[in-house]
Structure 1
Amino acid sequence: MNFINWDFLVNTFFVALSGVPVALLVTVVAMAFAVPLGFLLALTRIHEIPVLNFFTKIYISFVRGTPVIIQIFVLYASIPLILDGIFKKYNIDYAIYDINPLWYAFIIFSFNTAAVLIEVFRSALQTVHKGQLEAAHSVGLTTPQAYRRIIIPQALVAAMPNLCTATINLIKATSLGYAISLQEITLKAKVAANFGYNYLEAYIDIFIVYLIVCMTVEYLFKWYEKRLSRYKYVGA
């Protein structure tokens, strides 16, 4: 008995593959927002800035303590309501509920990933000896210059493995975009499977596509990590 429709498996693989650009676009945009936000909030934790440090702890606890799918439902339901209230107050005529789900995906996954990166950057920055900053000041560098030229390159070496993990987790999390009708890998394969109920084949295709994408991203991170190794500080 043939349990797998091989023709469907092959054809749907390319259907699922067509969702890769959307998954990668969401990943790139989310990381573009999450990296600077996560870095700045990590500094508030390191320097223990009173109000911001408290806000950051609550933010991290919320993201860590709730499933990503729940965050997606909450934000996807609340953002249109908030925008609708603001637009009505200022008499802005715009169809809020016609906004492309892609924009919500950018916000939702940036929100989630930034919280993860706060702890990644905090732990990475703490691996750089405080004397590095003091030495930079002693030769006339400002604090921003010291961070850009000395602290951040060294911290990136320590952060790279965790940044790789965060990026791969983000790529995999985009599979939950089906919940907001995002035309990514999972939704495209599931829609193709609906007609003939070939869900086993569709899930195999989804598995293979994500495996290929994530292994490629992991390889690129390892290549870049080797290039960054020249900034690694070796203490006395």
Structure 2
Amino acid sequence: MSLDTNFMAQVFKTAIAGVPVTLQIVLVALIVSLPIGFIFALVRIYRVKILSPLVRLYVSFVRGTPLIAQILIIYSAFPSFLATIIGKSAFSIDPINYAYIVFTLNSIATLTEVFRSALQTVDKGQLEAGLMVGMAPRQTFVRVILPQALVSALPNITNATLYLIKNSSLAFIMSVKDITAIAKTQAAFSYNFLEAYLVVWVYYLIIAYAAELLFWFLERYFSRFQRTTTAKSFNWHLFSFKQPTTTVAAVQYDPKKELVNHAHN
């Protein structure tokens, strides 16, 4: 079996029009879900009455249901619901707005747990130390606890972003003209679906690698707030499979020192 490289080159040029749409979905979902997820995490940590159980139910529901089911329900049911309020004009809404809703709701649930776990990794003694030096509780939280929590959260935020980038390929189900939709449309004429999917694979690989590189720079910037850091290259961060090792210094036995210590005792 041989690949049609000419068709792949044609799809690669055509599908680039869907890159801004994919990036737009990802950016809107992240910009909206990051602050809301952080607030929801604080609600759960401090166990705010009424709100905390509701947030927990929301997170469990979203994380416990398939994304494809959420897409089909919102894309099918939400327009009908809007039609009862604003009339038939609800069916003329740009489908990308439904993509914003689906991926934002999904990202909020994921980032809520990311921020909650990150905030709980910061030692409570950090807050006490800030109060002892005369800092206000809010000032201590913003200047001491939050930067350390961000360092802990960044790897998981990176993973959540990568999952969001990959899941955004399902936006074609909602008739959004993203990378996948354009490639599938091109392949429908000649049935070269393998070549089209390979082009889609390359595009998402490039976008995901660029996003991971960006978060690597952010992680290096925020790592200055850690007490101990070890600088590593991006290639090590991305491709290394080695586990960190601890080196224990060898202690030599000196019989003369042992005799002196015994004599003093």
Offset from partner CA, 1:177-203 (integer Å, 9 cap, x none): 011001111001000111111101000
Asked which structure has the greater CA Rg, the reply is 2
Answer yes or no: is 1:63 the counterpart of 2:71: no
> What pairs up with 1:169-180 in 2 under 5 angstroms?
169-180=163-174
Aligned to 2:146: 152
Same amino acid, percent of matched pairs = 44
1:15 maps to: 14
> Which residue number corresponds to residue 252 of structure 2?
none
CA RMSD of aligned residues (A): 1.7
Amino acid aligned to 1:216: A
Separation in 1, partners of 2:6, 2:66? 36
In the alignment, what sits opposite 2:200?
A: 206
Contact 1:128 1:155 in 2 (8 A): yes
Listed as ranges, the gaps of 5+ residues in structure 2 are: 229-265
Match of 2:254 in 1: none
**Which residue matches 2:73?**
74
What does residue 216 of structure 1 align with? 210
Deviation at 1:50, TM superposition (A): 3.0
The answer to whether the 8 A contact 1:154-1:233 is kept is no
CA distance in 1, matches of 2:91, 2:86: 12
Are residues 1:104 and 2:103 paired?
A: no
When normalised by structure 1's length, the TM-score is: 0.90
Q: Quick one: which of 175, 178, 182 aligns to 1:181? A: 175
1:126-141 alignment runs, 5 A limit: 126-139=120-133, 141=135
Report whether the alignment pairs 1:228 with 2:222.
Answer: yes
* Separation (CA, whole Å) in 1 of partners of 2:79 and 2:128: 48
Q: 2-side partners of 1:206 and 1:107: how far apart?
A: 23
Distance 1:143 1:32, change over 3 A: farther
Whole-angstrom CA distance in 2 between matches of 1:107 and 1:141: 40
User: Counterpart in 1 of 2:243?
Assistant: none
- Pairwise CA distance, 1:84: 2.5
CA distance in 2, matches of 1:135, 1:80: 53
Q: How many residues align?
A: 228
Alignment partner, residue 44 of structure 2: 45
TM-score (norm: length of structure 2): 0.81
Deviation at 1:143? 4.0
The question of 1:6 aligning with 2:8 is answered no
**Residue number among 191, 194, 197 corresponding to 2:185 in the alignment:** 191
The whole-number CA distance in structure 2 between the counterparts of 1:12 and 1:118 is: 38
Cα deviation digits, residues 154-183 of structure 1 (max 9, x gap): 101000100000001001111000110011
SS in 2 for 1:125: helix
Amino acid corresponding to residue 212 of structure 1 in structure 2: I
Q: Which structure exhibits the higher relative contact order, with contacts defined as CA atoms closer than 8 Å and separated by 6 or more residues? A: 1
Could you report, residue by residue, the CA deviation over 1:5-49 in whole angstroms, capped at 9, with x for unpaired residues? 110011101222221111111111101111111101111111122
Structure 1 counterpart of 2:68, one-letter code: I
Cα 1:205–1:125 shift into 2, 3 Å: same
